Amino acid sequence: MKALIGLGNPEVKYKTTRHNTGFLIMDEILKNHQVTLNDKFNSFFGKKGDVLYLLPKTYMNLSGRAVIELMNFYKLKPSDILVIYDDATIEFGTFRLKKNGSFGGHNGIKSIINSIGTDVFDRLKVGVGPVPANFTIDNFVLGNFSSDELQGIEKMSKIALDLVDCWLKEGMEKAQNKFNGKVI
């Protein structure tokens, strides 16, 4: 089994914020894979075949609680998950796939690392930056995308669908080789 995990905040007021990029990307994946979500693991959860889909309802800073529940229930290893999330340090329109690393200031990733006990798991960092000089990081990531940025996210979501399918079928290295870098 493999799990696709999109990070975000569950309230409607956060729907189009930069911090909800993981949820926005997952929306396209769920629609294309024809997955219906239910409430389970403190999350919006779906399963189709041997793929699990998770959008934690624990809010960003406690994402690890939902992830560890899923992993324990399905006896998943850290290598079985792909976490999709925003990264304000990466230029907008850029994907960065990584197999490990620190939390890099992202509290959702910090929560997952603390909950599962390792920083070795696959990640898809979606560039939403850079942070303008007149913004704090919190104000920036909790701010809404502009209409142009939302169109960019739609384009990135369609590319992310191919990326995720590659990751599921061919593994991380192939996905990295095909998709790392600027995509729009």
125-174, pLDDT tens digit by residue? 999 999 999 999 999 999 999 999 999 999 999 999 999 999 999 999 99
CATH number at residue 170: 3.40.50.1470
Q: How far is CA 41 from CA 2, 54, 107, 179, in A?
A: 16, 9, 19, 30
Q: Count up the domains in the chain and report the number.
A: 1
pLDDT tens string 37-54: 999 999 999 999 999 999
Q: What residue type is assigned to position 120 of the chain? A: V
User: Of 110, 97, 92, 94, nearest to 148 (Cα)?
Assistant: 92
13 — pLDDT class (breaks 50, 70, 90): very high
Residue 8 belongs to domain spanning: 2-182
Active-site residue list: 19
pTM, entire model: 0.98
183 — pLDDT class (breaks 50, 70, 90): confident
For 44, other C-beta atoms within 10 Å of its C-beta total 22
pLDDT tens string 83-132: 999 999 999 999 999 999 999 999 999 999 999 999 999 999 999 999 99
User: Of 95, 122, 121, 120, nearest to 178 (Cα)?
Assistant: 95
70: phi then psi, degrees, rounded to nearest 5:
-60, -50
